[in-house]
Amino acid sequence: MTKKILFILSIIVSSHAFSAEGMWVPGMISKMVADNMESMGMKISLDDIYAINNSSIKDAVVHFNGGCTSVLVSDQGLLLTNHHCGYSRIQAHSSLENNYLKDGFWAMSLSEELSNPGMDATVIKEIRDVTNDMLAELSVEATEAERIEHLTKKSAELIKKVKEETGFEAYVKAFYHGNQYLLFVNEVFTDVRLVGAPPSSIGKFGFDTDNWVWPRHTGDFSVFRIYANADNKPADFNEDNKPYRPNHFLPVNIQGVEKDDFTLVYGFPGTTENYITEAETKHVLEVINPLRLKMREASLGVIDEAMKGSELTKIQYAAKQSRISNAYKKWIGQSKGLIRHKVLDKKDSVEALFAQRIADNQDWNTAYATLISEIKAIEAAKLPLNVNRNYFIEFYYMGPEILRFTEKYRELVAMCKDENITDEAIEAWINEHIDNSGYFKNYDNTVDEDIMKAQIGFFVEDQKPLDFLNNLKSDKESLTAFVDRLYEETLFDNEADLTDFFSTFKRKHYKKIEDDPAYELSLRLAMFYSDVTRPELLKYVTNSDSLMRIWMDAQMLVLPERTYSPDANGTLRITFGKVEGYEPFDGAEYAYYTTLEGVMEKEDPTNPEYNVPERLKELYAAKDYGRYAHSTGEMRVAFVASNHTSGGNSGSPVIDANGNLIGLNFDRTWESTMSDIMFNPSICRNISVDIRYVLFIMDKYAGAKHLVDEMKLVSE
Ligand code: ASP
C-alpha cells in the first residue's frame, strides 16, 4: 500500500472507531455500537430502548404528522414537539383577533384544547427485518423493473398479513440502498389537539437570523395531546374521545446537563445521503444547491418585503416563509461546510482506497472494476434532468400557490367531459369543494403574482423546451406582461369571483376553467414534468439506484473497518453522543449551553426577530426560576451535543443516560448542516432546548402549571 493510502486508512479508522456517527435502528443495534454507547456513559439497556413484549422508550417516541418527531410525557397522551413543528397548526388557529402565533396559546383545561383535522401522530409497535421475505423468489437475473415489481408485490403482501394478524398498519422501507428491508408495524392516531404554544418571540426567538445558528436562545417547543376512543384506540376527532394512555411516557429530569454527559436522540430523521460518491456530491455543490438558492432568494425577496409591511400578511405568510427559508439557509451552510471540510477530497480518498483494494483482489476486481466509472457516467447523464426536476419543484411546489390551487379543478373538468358522470355528481363535487375560505385566508394575490414574476424568468430560462408557454403568451408579450395578464384574467386568485362562478355553474362551463390562464399554465407545467422530465429521469434513476445498491454493498465488503449506519429514510432511529461545545472556526470556541442572560443580550425592541415579552423580562429581573434553575442559579435555555441528527429529528426527545428527558432536539449548528452528506464528529452538533426552559415557560411564564403537574419530574 502506498503511504497516501495508509494515511487515508488511518483517518477513516480513527475518525470512526470512537465517534458517535450513525442513525441506528432500535432493536437492531450491534454489539460494537452498544459497547460504544456504554463507554460513552449510557446506563439503560438496549431493552429499555426497544422492546416489543414490554413497554420501552420507543413507545413514547411519536412520529409527528409524518415530518417531525414528538415525545409523550404523561399518562394522559401529553405530547411535546418543537414550536416550528406545530407552527402551521398554531398558524391555522390564528387570526388578527386571536393571534396565537404572536401571543401564544394555552388551554387551561381539556375542553379548551384545539382539534387539528387532517393531522396524525404515529406510534411504532414493532420493527421486523423482512429482507428474506422481500428478496425470496427474486431471480438473480431479474431486471431492475422486475425487481421493483417484485418488491412492491411482496411488501403489499407483508403489510396485508400484518393487518390481518394484528389489526395494525404497517410499511416496508429499504435500508442500505436496498440491501436490507425492514417492516414497521404502527398505530396512527388522528385526533391530535393543540394544548399550548409560547409566543413566537420565545418559540421562534431569533427567527431566520438565528435559524441553524449557535449560540441559540430559542424556546422551540409546543404542546399537543393525543386522543383515542374508549378502547384507547385511534379514532377521528370526537367530543367523546379521551386522552390516550401510552405504554410508556418519559420522566423529565430537571437536574440538567453537564459537559460530556451522555445523550441519546430518539426520532425520525428524514433523509441523508452519507454514501453518495464524489461525483454526486460535486453536483449538489456546484449545480443543484445554487439553483435552489436562486429560486428561493427570488420568492423570499417578495414574501419578506410583504410581511414587513402588514400584520395580516405576516400571519398569512408566516408558515410559508418558514418553510421556504428553512431549507434555503440550510443549503447555504451545507455548501460552505462541504467546501471547508474538503468533503470532495475525502470522498475521493475513499474511492481511491476502494480502487486500490479491489485491484489487489481478483474476485472484487471482476465484480467492481468499472463500478465507480459507471456511477460517474450515469450521474453526468442524469444531471440536466435533475436540474429540470429541481426547477420544477422550486417553481411548481414552492413558488406561486395558484399553480397548486388549480390542480383540484382538473378532476371537475374531467368529470364534466365524461358522459357517464351525472349532473348530480358534478353538483355534489362542487358543493363539496365550493368553500375555499381556508385557502384564501392565507392568500394574497399580489404577493403570489410577484412571486411568479420573480421566479418565472429563471424557470423558463432553464426549461427552454416549454413551447407551450409561447402558445400561452400572445405575440411578443414579455413574461412580465404575461403574468400581469394571467392574474388579471384568472378566476383562481379571488375567493368572491370563484364562489360566484361556482354558485351558478353548469356542466358546459368547464370550458371556462380549461381556458383559464392559471389553470392552463399549471396543467401544462405538470404535464411537461410527468410526460417529459420524469420518464427520462426514471430511466436513469432505476440504473443509478441499482448501482448505488451495489456500491453500498461493495463498500461494506471492501472497506470493513468503517462503520455503516443506514441513511435516514424517515424511520425510527437512535443516535447517541455527548454534551459538548466545539470550535466553529480558527480561534473561537463555543460553550455547550446558553442562558436567559443571552436572550436579554440579544433583545432589540426595534427588531421583530429579537423582541422579548415583558413577562419574560420580569421573571428574569426577579430571577424567578423556581425549581427549573440550574445548580449555578442561572436559567439554561439550550445546549449542543454531538448527536448525528437530520431534518425530521425536530422535536425528538433528548434522553439522558438513565432514560429521562433532558431536552427537545430542534436544529443543527451552521457548521453541521453538511452532516446530511458527511458527519464530522469534531464539528457537527445538534441543538436542543433545555427541558427546564420548556417547563419554566409553561409554568412561570404561561401559568400552565397543570401541564407540568401531569408529568413525572425526576432529579438524578
Ligand atoms: N431544524 C431542522 C429542521 O427544521 C432540524 C435539523 O435539520 O437538524 O429540519
pLDDT given for residue 13 in this prediction: 40
Residue 649 Cα, ligand 1 centroid: separation in angstroms?
A: 7
Amino acid symbol at 139:
S
Q: Is 668 in the pocket of ligand 1 (CB under 6 A)?
A: yes
- Residue 210 CB less than 6 A away from ligand 1: no
Rg (C-alpha) for the chain, rounded Å, is: 27
The response to whether residue 281 sits with its C-beta less than 6 Å from ligand 1 reads no
Atom 9 of ligand 1, residue of closest alpha carbon: 647
Q: Is 314 in the pocket of ligand 1 (CB under 6 A)?
A: no
Q: What is the pLDDT of residue 468?
A: 67
CA 650 / ligand 1 centre spacing (Å): 5
Task: Give this prediction's pTM.
Answer: 0.90
How many beta carbons lie within 10 A of that of residue 342, not counting itself? 12
pLDDT at 472: 74
Is the minimum distance from the CB of 436 to ligand 1 under 6 angstroms? no
- Best residue among 330, 640, 644 to mutate for probing ligand 1, ranked by most atoms within 8 Å of CB: 330
Distance 363 CA to ligand 1 centre (A): 43
Residue nearest to ligand 1 atom 1, measured at CA: 667
- Which residues are the active-site residues? 84, 220, 650
Tell me which of 82, 88, 649, 671 to substitute to probe ligand 1's pocket, judged by most ligand atoms within 8 Å of the beta carbon: 649
Three-class DSSP category at 581: coil
Q: Is 325 in the pocket of ligand 1 (CB under 6 A)?
A: no
Atom 7 of ligand 1 has which residue's CA nearest to it?
647
| 579 contacts 260 by C-beta, under 8 angstroms | yes
The identity of residue 160, as a single letter, is K
Measured distance CA(699)–CA(106) in Å, rounded: 11
Question: What pLDDT, on a 0 to 100 scale, did the predictor assign at position 460?
Answer: 83
Distance 188 CA to ligand 1 centre (A): 23
Using DSSP's 3-state secondary structure scheme, residue 420 falls into coil
CA angle 256, 259, 262 (to 5 degrees): 75
Pairing type for strands 252-253 and 713-714 reads parallel
495, burial (CB in 10 Å: exposed 0-12, middle 13-18, buried 19+): middle
Q: What is the DSSP string of 454-465?
A: HHHHHHHHH-TT
pLDDT at 462: 72
| Distance, CA of 666 to CA of 689 (rounded, Å) | 7
Which parts of the chain have pLDDT scores under 70?
A: 1-19, 463-468, 470, 475
pLDDT for the residue 9:
44
Distance CA 348, CA 276 (A): 11
Confirm or reject: Cβ of 269 under 6 Å from ligand 1.
no
Q: In whole angstroms, what is the distance from residue 626 CA to residue 281 CA?
A: 49
